[in-house]
């Protein structure tokens, strides 16, 4: 056995390898960096990737999620963009007029935080970063049409972001409300519900746990579209995204039931009733189990419920206030801990169960959340585990109203736990004997009957509740699109008139680490006049969530310089909707849900058409560091694409990105693995550029080569259609190996060889656009390969003459027989049974059964 080399040796070896540029190691004629630059400049000069309306061709709008201009292009950007580019290029060759634009999601916190640190204005920094990233992006050799670039932080863009806000406001879809909202103490701003993540409820951007604050904020009425957002008709989106959105919206069917507060308990000795208390005698609760109403033996209010103070009796005030204070001190995480023991206190008040007039006590407990449903519940301890635990602890009555059909179980259940299974209703007056199953809503016969009855009696109604909340738009930050609203003491809130748009961000702002928005602190900016009366008024100083900017950017690409409207109708009519959208799945319940909502809102306003903005969605995975961890500067495992491009050229980086993992899965980066892609690109170069030996190949060799070419074309075409990029590259590698063999056999230079070369370069062109263009030119073909039609499979050529068929005996492969491809079942059977190996295993016995899977396999059973 060989010893492993000592530690010194590999270090030296590495050093040596590093010092020689990979590209010049063996083949002086292959200089990818210079060659790539040459073609990029030519494509640019020729406007090869300009996409303009062409009614003679079918259109294809390919969109990949736009980046935030952080300042440096990351390998993750390459991973997202270059396969999307390859797909767009493939569609172009298929005959589509393809739009594949790129832009920048340029508002956002990092630039503002950096400004607070070093005083550099976010505008300056952002546009510098964009310059740099655009230059870096151009090294990818992607077919981006830079004439259509949009930058969300540019006034000519955010003018229309503001305009859209006003359209939503005018349509009644934007409103202002005081409520308890999520606040990130690090980012010093509120966040939308979707932007709070994980068990510890942290900020999606910076990871800091959020807190609750009561603030007056702007919201979009996204919940109006909850039901429609649950439907994905006519769109080809990954099931995982649809599931994530469905779970996020979390529709639950049930009933709203009204309980009267027992009047003698109402606010004893309280002279001044607060606003809204005239309706106090009735309180609504949401329940998914109206069939268990007869088992509601108490009510529980959330400690924050506004009516708690009103209903609490004098003798219970101290305990209630103490409990409220203690609940307020706890974070939502502490309160949300599932295994926490239930606690609560009695308010002294009673409610009346509307179905049986039972007088039931009202408690407060922190297991009831103000943020869901009505902030109050009817408690049915017999049939709800949480209510059961609570009732046991505080010795509240437990009345079973659903009886399992098997009696024994019932007896046992009554003692130990709540019963949540199916059965028949009992103790429920006229409903006794009604069957109940475990379905939700009307599908459950018990629930359906009770729903009808409570509606008749006027004590409740069928109702649907969602976890989904309206979209909180306000951000207390400078670097975003201003919310174009003006407040006047007399006329309230009014939109900025259209002719005053955009409301520009002031440039002369001071950066103070106080956490307050510089817009608020600016001495003059917010002072303006009321659009209604012309008197002094103030501007809204909050800006918009940047997800607002990205909700419509796909529309701005259509006509980024258009100044009469957010987009030009002619462009819209030709290009929309987006045909293929690619990007990360982390946006499933954020951007991808916001943009669907936004589109539906615009549709109802009459600005856009159709029910969905993006017809097909595909998600790529993530490139991890070589250590398998998420890439981060602090871990030092970041892979820089620029370094790779300098070493290998863009084609190799593109090819490796498409090859090394299943695109939708992602995988850890492998610095050695990229050598394989580099080798492939170089070997293709060598194959095409080495002098051609004389043609000596047999007809059979040529026929076999042609067969492989067309089989590969069929496979590559199919894989492009289905986004299976890794097998595109492996198929191309295989065909290259075959071509080397065919060359060895003297096929080079033949007509079949020339066809193989042509098809090979065309298949390669979407993946490695530069070398394909170069070799295409060297073959003397007309410029450009990227405008060539995708080759057509010659099905006849793909047919095999003879096939090798494995023969199994009792499930194990024992031999392989070669038969003509068109052999009949009988012929295949005969050939298989004639095999010596098979005869050996038969040992003279007759086979019990012989199964012939035509063209595939023979299975002999003894």
Partner RNA sequence: GCCGAAGUGGCGGAAUAGGCAGACGCGCACGACUCAAAAUCGUGUUCCCUACGGGAAUGAGGGUUCGAUUCCCUCCUUCGGCACCA
Q: 585 to 614, contacts with RNA by CB under 7 A?
A: 589
Does residue 392 bind RNA (CB under 7 A)? no
Nearer to RNA, 121 or 707 (CB): 707
CB-CB contact of 759 with 709 (8 Å): yes
> CB of 50: closest distance to RNA in angstroms?
35
Half-sphere exposure of 803 (CA within 13 A, CB side): 19
Q: In the set 96, 146, 232, 248, which binds RNA (CB under 7 A)?
A: 248
Does residue 26 bind RNA (CB under 7 A)? yes
Nearer to RNA, 313 or 465 (CB): 465
Does residue 584 bind RNA (CB under 7 A)? no
Nearer to RNA, 106 or 705 (CB): 705
The single residue listed with the structure tokens 């007029």 is 97
Nearer to RNA, 278 or 843 (CB): 843
The Cα–Cα gap between 711 and 312 comes to 79
Number of residues that bind RNA (CB under 7 A): 96
Phi-psi label, residue 367: left if phi above 0, alpha if psi -120 to 50, beta otherwise: alpha
Does residue 620 bind RNA (CB under 7 A)? no
Does residue 260 bind RNA (CB under 7 A)? no
Does residue 849 bind RNA (CB under 7 A)? yes
Compute CA 734 distance to the chain's CA centroid, rounded to the nearest angstrom.
34
Does residue 670 bind RNA (CB under 7 A)? yes
CB-CB contact of 85 with 124 (8 Å): no
Q: Which span (194-202, 226-234, 516-524, 529-537) binds RNA, by CB under 7 A?
A: 194-202
> CB of 389: closest distance to RNA in angstroms?
7
If one counts every other C-beta atom within 10 angstroms of the C-beta of residue 530, the result is 18
Q: In the set 491, 662, 703, 781, which binds RNA (CB under 7 A)?
A: 662
> CB of 304: closest distance to RNA in angstroms?
10
Does residue 583 bind RNA (CB under 7 A)? no
DSSP, collapsed to helix, strand or coil, labels residue 636 as coil
Does residue 155 bind RNA (CB under 7 A)? no
If one counts every other C-beta atom within 10 angstroms of the C-beta of residue 103, the result is 25
Q: In the set 21, 58, 198, 820, which binds RNA (CB under 7 A)?
A: 198
Q: In the set 338, 406, 415, 796, which binds RNA (CB under 7 A)?
A: 338
Does residue 367 bind RNA (CB under 7 A)? yes
Does residue 639 bind RNA (CB under 7 A)? no
Enumerate residues 456-475 that contact RNA by CB under 7 A: 465, 467
Q: Which span (37-45, 331-339, 494-502, 696-704) binds RNA, by CB under 7 A?
A: 331-339
> CB of 678: closest distance to RNA in angstroms?
7
Nearer to RNA, 136 or 712 (CB): 712
The Cα–Cα gap between 408 and 410 comes to 5
> CB of 705: closest distance to RNA in angstroms?
16
Does residue 17 bind RNA (CB under 7 A)? yes
Does residue 806 bind RNA (CB under 7 A)? yes
Nearer to RNA, 148 or 814 (CB): 814
Give 40's contacts (C-beta < 8 A, 6+ positions apart). Answer: 138, 139, 141, 770
Enumerate residues 733-772 that contact RNA by CB under 7 A: 733-734, 737, 740
Could you list the beta-strand ranges (E) of 747-811: 802-809
As a whole number of Å, the end-to-end CA separation of the chain is 46
Does residue 851 bind RNA (CB under 7 A)? yes
Helix ranges restricted to H, 582-673: 591-605, 641-648, 650-659
The Cα–Cα gap between 141 and 640 comes to 17
CB-CB contact of 360 with 350 (8 Å): yes
As given in the structure block, the two tokens for residue 798 are 């793909």
Binding mask 716-735 for RNA (x = CB under 7 A): --x-----x-xx-xx--xx-
Q: In the set 67, 69, 110, 373, which binds RNA (CB under 7 A)?
A: 373
Nearer to RNA, 148 or 591 (CB): 591
DSSP, collapsed to helix, strand or coil, labels residue 768 as coil
As given in the structure block, the two tokens for residue 148 are 């259509």
Nearer to RNA, 2 or 564 (CB): 2
Of 369, 545, 373, nearest in space to 471 by CA:
545
The Cα–Cα gap between 72 and 130 comes to 9
CB-CB contact of 693 with 743 (8 Å): yes
Does residue 799 bind RNA (CB under 7 A)? no
If one counts every other C-beta atom within 10 angstroms of the C-beta of residue 215, the result is 16
The Cα–Cα gap between 286 and 469 comes to 16
Does residue 688 bind RNA (CB under 7 A)? no
The Cα–Cα gap between 805 and 833 comes to 12
Helix ranges restricted to H, 475-590: 518-521, 546-549, 553-556, 569-575
Does residue 53 bind RNA (CB under 7 A)? no
Which residues are registered as beta bridge partners of 620?
Answer: 584
Does residue 677 bind RNA (CB under 7 A)? yes
Nearer to RNA, 173 or 226 (CB): 226
Q: What are phi and psi for residue 466, nearest 5 degrees?
A: -125, 150
Enumerate residues 417-456 that contact RNA by CB under 7 A: none
CB-CB contact of 354 with 361 (8 Å): no
Q: In the set 6, 29, 239, 264, which binds RNA (CB under 7 A)?
A: 239
Q: Which span (114-122, 340-348, 605-613, 640-648) binds RNA, by CB under 7 A?
A: 340-348
Which H/E stretch holds residue 579? Answer: strand 578-584
Does residue 197 bind RNA (CB under 7 A)? yes
Q: In the set 325, 417, 665, 818, which binds RNA (CB under 7 A)?
A: 665
The Cα–Cα gap between 544 and 484 comes to 10
| Per-position DSSP letters for 78-128, written without gaps between them | HHHHHHHHHHHHHHHHTT-EEE----B---SHHHHHHHHHH---HHHHHHH
Q: Which sign does the torsion angle of CA 208, 212, 214, 217 carry? A: positive
> CB of 411: closest distance to RNA in angstroms?
25
Q: Which span (15-23, 92-100, 214-222, 700-708) binds RNA, by CB under 7 A?
A: 15-23
Q: In the set 250, 535, 629, 800, which binds RNA (CB under 7 A)?
A: 250
> CB of 824: closest distance to RNA in angstroms?
17
Q: Which span (18-26, 454-462, 692-700, 753-761) binds RNA, by CB under 7 A?
A: 18-26
Does residue 692 bind RNA (CB under 7 A)? no
> CB of 129: closest distance to RNA in angstroms?
27
Q: At what angle do helices 751-764 and 674-689 cross, to 10 degrees?
A: 150
The Cα–Cα gap between 253 and 330 comes to 31
Enumerate residues 496-555 that contact RNA by CB under 7 A: none
> CB of 448: closest distance to RNA in angstroms?
16
Does residue 287 bind RNA (CB under 7 A)? yes
> CB of 585: closest distance to RNA in angstroms?
7
DSSP, collapsed to helix, strand or coil, labels residue 174 as strand
């Amino acid at each position: 056995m060989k010893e492993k080399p000592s530690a010194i040796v590999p270090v030296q070896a590495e050093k040596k390898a590093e010092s020689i540029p990979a590209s010049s190691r063996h083949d002086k004629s292959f200089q990818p960096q210079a060659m790539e630059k040459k073609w990029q400049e030519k494509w640019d000069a020729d406007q090869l990737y300009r996409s303009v309306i062409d009614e003679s061709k079918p259109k294809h709008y390919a969109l990949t999620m736009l980046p935030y201009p952080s300042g440096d292009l990351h390998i993750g950007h390459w991973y997202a963009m270059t396969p999307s580019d390859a797909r767009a290029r493939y569609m172009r060759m298929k005959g589509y007029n393809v739009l594949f634009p790129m832009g920048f999601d340029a508002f956002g916190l990092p630039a503002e935080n950096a400004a607070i640190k070093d005083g550099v204005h976010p505008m300056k920094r952002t546009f510098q970063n964009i310059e740099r990233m655009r230059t870096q992006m151009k090294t990818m050799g992607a077919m981006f049409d830079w004439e259509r670039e949009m930058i969300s932080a540019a006034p000519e863009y955010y003018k229309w972001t503001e305009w859209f806000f006003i359209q939503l406001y005018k349509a009644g879809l934007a409103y202002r409300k005081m409520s308890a909202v999520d606040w990130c103490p690090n980012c010093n701003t509120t966040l939308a519900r979707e932007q709070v993540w994980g068990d510890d409820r942290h900020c999606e951007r910076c990871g800091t746990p959020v807190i609750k604050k009561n603030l007056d904020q702007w919201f979009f009425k996204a919940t109006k579209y909850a039901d429609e957002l649950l439907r994905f008709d006519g769109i080809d989106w990954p099931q995982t995204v649809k599931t994530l959105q469905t779970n996020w919206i979390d529709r639950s069917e049930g009933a709203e039931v009204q309980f009267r507060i027992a009047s003698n308990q109402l606010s004893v000795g309280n002279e001044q009733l607060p606003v809204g208390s005239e309706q106090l005698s009735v309180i609504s609760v949401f329940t998914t189990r109206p069939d268990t109403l007869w088992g509601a033996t108490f009510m529980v209010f959330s400690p924050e419920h506004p009516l708690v103070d009103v209903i609490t009796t004098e003798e219970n005030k101290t305990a209630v206030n103490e409990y409220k204070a203690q609940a307020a001190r706890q974070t939502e995480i502490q309160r949300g801990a599932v295994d926490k023991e239930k606690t609560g206190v009695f308010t002294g008040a009673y409610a009346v169960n509307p179905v049986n007039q039972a007088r039931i006590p009202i408690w407060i407990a922190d297991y009831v959340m103000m943020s869901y449903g009505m902030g109050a519940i009817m408690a049915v301890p017999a049939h709800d585990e949480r209510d059961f635990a609570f009732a046991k602890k505080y010795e509240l009555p437990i009345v079973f109203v659903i009886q399992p059909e098997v009696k024994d179980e019932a007896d046992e259940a009554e003692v130990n736990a709540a019963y949540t299974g199916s059965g028949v209703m009992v103790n429920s007056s006229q409903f006794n004997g009604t069957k109940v199953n475990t379905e939700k809503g009307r599908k459950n016969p018990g629930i359906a009957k009770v729903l009808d009855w409570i509606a008749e009696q006027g004590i409740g109604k069928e109702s649907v509740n969602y976890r989904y909340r309206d979209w909180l738009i306000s951000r207390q930050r400078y670097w975003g699109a201003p919310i174009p609203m003006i407040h006047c003491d007399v006329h309230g809130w009014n939109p900025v008139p259209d002719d005053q748009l955009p409301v520009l961000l002031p440039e002369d702002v001071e950066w103070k680490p106080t956490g307050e928005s510089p817009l608020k602190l600016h001495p003059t900016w917010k002072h303006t006049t009321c659009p209604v009366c012309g008197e002094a008024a103030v501007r809204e100083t909050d800006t918009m969530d940047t997800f607002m900017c990205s909700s419509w950017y796909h529309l701005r690409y259509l006509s980024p310089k258009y100044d009469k409207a957010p987009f030009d109708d002619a462009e819209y009519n030709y290009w929309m909707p987006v045909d293929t959208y690619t990007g990360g799945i982390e946006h499933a319940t954020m951007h991808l849900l916001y943009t669907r909502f936004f589109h539906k809102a615009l549709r109802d306003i009459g600005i856009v058409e159709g029910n969905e903005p993006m017809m097909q969605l595909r998600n790529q995975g993530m490139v991890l560091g070589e250590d398998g961890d998420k890439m981060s500067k602090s871990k030092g495992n970041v892979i820089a694409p620029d370094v790779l491009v300098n070493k290998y050229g863009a084609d190799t980086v593109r090819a490796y990105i498409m090859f090394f993992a299943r695109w939708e899965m992602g995988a850890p980066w492998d610095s050695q693995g990229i050598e394989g892609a580099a080798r492939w690109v170089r070997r293709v170069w060598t194959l095409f550029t080495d002098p051609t030996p004389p043609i000596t190949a047999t007809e059979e060799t040529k026929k076999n080569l042609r067969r492989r070419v067309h089989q590969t074309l069929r496979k590559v075409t199919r894989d492009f259609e289905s986004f299976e990029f890794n097998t595109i590259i492996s198929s191309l590698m295989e065909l290259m190996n075959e071509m080397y063999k065919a060359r060895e056999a003297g096929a080079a230079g033949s007509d079949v060889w020339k066809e193989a070369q042509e098809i090979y370069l065309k298949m390669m062109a979407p993946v490695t656009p530069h070398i394909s263009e170069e070799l295409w030119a060297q073959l003397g073909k007309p410029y450009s390969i990227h405008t060539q039609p995708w080759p057509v499979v010659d099905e006849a050529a793909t047919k095999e003459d003879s096939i090798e068929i494995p023969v199994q005996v009792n499930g194990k492969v024992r031999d392989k027989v070669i038969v003509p491809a068109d052999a009949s079942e009988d012929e295949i059977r005969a050939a298989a049974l004639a095999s010596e190996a098979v005869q050996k295993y038969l040992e003279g016995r007759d086979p019990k059964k012989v199964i012939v899977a035509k063209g595939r396999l023979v299975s002999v059973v003894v």
